[in-house]
A and B are shown apart, each in its own frame.
Chain A
Amino acid sequence: MKTLSYFASRLSKAIIVVLGVVILNFLLIRMAPGDPASVMAGEAGASDPAYVEQLRREFGLDKPVYVQLGIYLKGITHLDLGFSYRERVPVLNLILDRLPATLLLMGCAFLFSVALGMLAGVIAARARYEGRRRWLDSTIMSGALLIYATPQFWLALLAVIFFSLTLGWLPPFGMETVASTLTGWARVGDIATHLVLPTISLGCFFMAIYARLTRASMLEVLGMDFIKTARAKGVPVQQIIRRHALRNALLPVITLAGIQLGQMAGGAVLTETVFGWPGIGRLMFDALTARDYQLLLGVFLVTSTMVVVFNLITDLIYRFVDPRIQGS
């Protein structure tokens, strides 16, 4: 019951945050010069001002900004995210079309970075703790530092040149083979090969952070008295690492996981651009350059909701992993 009321209070706060984000974005976007009508006229190569005015009227841009905001907020309450001026389709359809691709990529990159990062961190910490294979520790840590310091897009381009162009192993763009007629498992396999490069380039940066964080917090825990006691009792190192140290070193990793998920929700633009991944990050970028207000707000609404939801989940997991944390 306590958890439930905690959850309810967090949820109501979350809704206020999302609403604030939407209103703030609405006002910020309007401060950028240019509107969809002028961009569309520009793209058409020429047009008379009467035509641009006609577009503005049609888009409702001739109304005062607060009226437009009111209409938009009213729409949101019954899940109407408006209409994309450019593509002439409801915004919600466009977003739902693209969301699965982003979630898939994010999920894979997340699992990849957490799993590999923690594994590397644990191995490094253990090597250091046992004092025997120190070279392993320094190799892993230098590798992590290198990845950490390399810009993401650069890594992505290098991966494409090496794996796709030189070796020819992996496809360099898209989510599946163009115009393929694959179905069932064959299609899953096809998508999986397309996933490899974007996953690596999106996940590498956080993998490096997980490795460093896990190692540091493991070493901290391993230095504590209860570990010494356990060792003195003759508990095997394997068990100490897994049961005693890792479990206690997990909290900072969960914190970081929450941050990572939040960041990826909005930050996949680069990866999606380089790999031609048909996700929501790319949609947001296109909507921005075209000043497609409704679509842009829709994407912001969805991504900010995602961030808030991830935060909620992280908090709940905290309480689960460490019952000492209270919701007060």
Chain B
Amino acid sequence: MSSTSTNKPSALSRVKGPLLSAALAAMLAVAGTTGAQAQTHGGTLRAIVQPEPPLLMLGLNQQIPTQYVAGKIYESLLTWSPDLKPQPGLARAWHVSEDGKTYTFDLQQGVTWHDGKPFSADDVVFSIDKFLRAVHPRARVIINQFVESVTALAPDKVEIKLKSPFAPFLKSFVSDNMPIVPKHLYDGTDYLNNPNNQKPIGTGPFMFKSWSKGSVIELVRNPNYWQKGKPYLDGIVFSVIPDSASRAVAFERGDVDVLRSGDVDNVDIKRLKALPNVDYTTNGWEMFSQQAYVQMNQRKPPFDNVKVRQAVMYALNRKFIVDNIFFGLGKVSTGPISSKTPFYSADVTQYPYDIKKARALIKESGVDVSKTPVKILAYPYGAAWDRLGEYTRQALQQIGFNVDMEAADAGTWSKRVSDFDFDLTFSFTSQYGDPALGVSRLFLTRNIVKGSAFVNNVGYQNAEADALWDKGATATSDADRKQAYDQVQKILVDQVANGYLFEIENPSLYRAKVHNLVTTAIGLNDTFADVYIDK
């Protein structure tokens, strides 16, 4: 996205917001008269939260379950449509300057915090400039690197100046990345130990009611929500059910209405999908577009040899992996950028399953892989990943490798990968709707830093690629960005900087009586302001 093109949607959105809602209202009115179901007020949505989040203060904790629950309590300036266009959130309009360095946001009026205090531009300034900069593990990286100043121009107008253009900057304004937190409760306090962390106060359509640790989190309708008439639900309850088989039973019995991706094992999805009055979607993950990949440590043999890495790509039958290990919930990927993310390019070297070619490449590489034993470090995120490890072991043995498996729990995995103490392991990461936000971090040479997982842990170094990533992030025209990303994808795929496996598809299951569950690119993490249940 460039400044000129960001201008377009932003200028448009001033008009588009009200227009769109008017059109929607008209459509609903028509639907109402034709006898179709209209939104009904009332009802409680029953969902599952797993694992139980440690904390619901979204600024301080960004675990996936925290995003799911606290995403109803806190809001950000924007939300995103499934085709990754910005939509109004706490900002009703926004504008990007020609040089891509000044962003102005017009805020919604009449917004109050859950404790009744009015929301204003000061809250936005405090959140971005002080709070998130200090405590948010992801946002602080962007803010510290790019943001020069955040100023309140008026009670409903905020201006953010950047040090240098950063094309995907708007995409960081989603609730899990830049939640807006109340200044009057946090400014000048010890953020981490503020008592309000236990009773989160946001601007969202649902308010925190109670949390019995280990069993249930309850949210209730915010009667003063700034979108008049919303939300439709009286409340949402999130049950804590630690065992996945028990979660499947709870859904089957009708004790819960919604299963989020990961709530049940993929093996159960097919059966639950077939239940009467159950709907199914894989939408609502466009912003995340998770990619699964093999990480091969390039610091030592045998994976320091590019031909060996290419051989691994030919030896893995990725179609088989998707169909049989992940129950068809995925799509084989061609490179580091997901096909659902802008600037994806399919014009790269393909690695079809070809054992002969893999063996030939090993021979060419001159590495005696039987003499350099390799250990597969288990990726501790469920049974499918264990199977993937076992399959990979077999595939590598077929081309002559001497392979062992190592078990790990989440703490061990994260420690060892952060310390570069592994040969081969797996991972998946979210792309956050733009290569500069979710992809480049895995490949930049300057991101080879000990002590953090989900960065460049394999030790890939390429100055040319680095320059292209930087060009892609700071260029202000889409054409320039595309050119940079097209080139970088070619290079990374040729060199197998990572072993790109597949784009993860995340299924959501829900009772057919529940509507509008997934409407945006962040799906179930969104506010649920529009969700309603048939009476």
Contact = CB atoms under 8 A, between A and B. Distances in A.
19 contacts: A35-B415, A44-B61, A46-B137, A48-B452, A49-B451, A49-B452, A51-B140, A86-B55, A88-B192, A98-B213, A160-B246, A164-B249, A171-B255, A174-B241, A179-B237, A275-B243, A276-B242, A289-B411, A290-B411
Contact of A44 (B63, B249, B418): B63
Shortest 7 CB-CB distances between A and B: which pairs? A278-B214, A34-B411, A47-B137, A42-B414, A34-B415, A49-B451, A86-B54
Contacts of A48: 137, 140-141, 449, 452
A279 interface: yes
A52 B452 contact: yes
A165 B452 contact: no
A274 B247 CA distance: 9
Interface of A: 32-35, 38-39, 41-49, 51-53, 58, 84, 86-89, 94, 97-98, 101, 157, 160-161, 164-165, 168, 171-176, 178-179, 272-279, 282-283, 285-286, 289-291
Contacts of B252: 165
B215 interface: yes
Contacts of A176: 215
Contact of A276 (B46, B140, B246, B416): B246
Contacts of B241: 173-174, 276
A233 B430 CA distance: 84
A98 B211 CA distance: 13
Interface in B399-415: 409-415
A16 B246 CA distance: 41
Contact of B237 (A42, A49, A178): A178
A58 B192 CA distance: 10
Nearest to A94: B213
Contacts of A46: 137-138, 141, 429, 441, 452-455
Contacts of A98: 213-214
Contacts, number: 173
B249 A47 contact: no
A88 to B, nearest CB: 6
B34 interface: no
Contacts of A52: 451-452
Interface of B: 44, 46, 51-52, 54-55, 60-63, 137-138, 140-141, 192-193, 197-198, 212-216, 218, 235, 237, 239-243, 245-246, 249-250, 252-253, 255, 409-416, 418, 429-430, 441, 449-455
A42 B410 contact: yes
Given A49-B452, A89-B198, A172-B249, A33 B214 contact: no
Count chain B CB atoms within 10 A of each CB in A35, A48, A176 and give the residue with the most. A48
A135 B502 CA distance: 61
Contact of B216 (A174, A273, A277): A174
Contacts of A277: 214
Count chain A CB atoms within 10 A of each CB in B62, B213, B413 and give the residue with the most. B213
Contacts of B214: 97-98, 101, 277-279, 282-283
Given A88-B197, A160-B246, A286-B51, A276 B215 contact: yes
Contacts of A160: 245-246, 249
A278 B453 contact: no
A48 B60 CA distance: 15
Given A86-B54, A176-B215, A282-B242, 4 more contacts: A41-B137, A160-B245, A160-B249, A173-B246
B249 A161 contact: yes
A87 B193 CA distance: 10
Given A45-B429, A172-B255, A289 B410 contact: yes
A83 B453 CA distance: 26
Contacts of A274: 243, 245-246
Contacts of B429: 45-46
A168 B252 CA distance: 11
A84 B215 CA distance: 19
A38 B197 CA distance: 21
Given A34-B412, A46-B452, A290-B411, A88 B55 contact: yes
Contact of A51 (B52, B137, B235): B137
B198 A38 contact: no
Contacts of B213: 94, 97-98, 278, 283
A273 B243 contact: yes
A42 B451 contact: no
A178 B54 contact: no
Given A98-B214, A289-B411, A291-B411, A45 B452 contact: no
B107 to A, nearest CB: 27
B140 A290 contact: no
A41 B451 CA distance: 9
A41 B237 contact: no
Given A42-B453, A97-B213, A173 B239 contact: yes
A16 B327 CA distance: 54
Contacts of B193: 88
Contacts of B52: 286
Contacts of B415: 33-35, 38
A41 B449 contact: no
Contacts of A165: 249, 252-253
A217 B411 CA distance: 48
B212 A278 contact: yes
A49 B450 contact: yes
A34 B51 CA distance: 19
Count chain B CB atoms within 10 A of each CB in A46, A164, A276, A279 and give the residue with the most. A46
Contact of A41 (B239, B249, B453): B453
Nearest to A47: B137
Given A52-B452, A275-B246, A33 B197 contact: no
Given A164-B253, A173-B241, A39 B411 contact: yes
A172 B409 CA distance: 28
Count chain B CB atoms within 10 A of each CB in A88, A164, A286 and give the residue with the most. A88
Contact of B452 (A32, A35, A41, A173): A41
Contact of B250 (A53, A173, A272, A289): A173
A310 B347 CA distance: 69
A47 B138 contact: yes
A45 B62 contact: yes
Contact of A289 (B141, B255, B409): B409
Nearest to A168: B253
A278 B215 contact: yes
A11 B197 CA distance: 41
Contact of A178 (B138, B192, B216, B418): B216
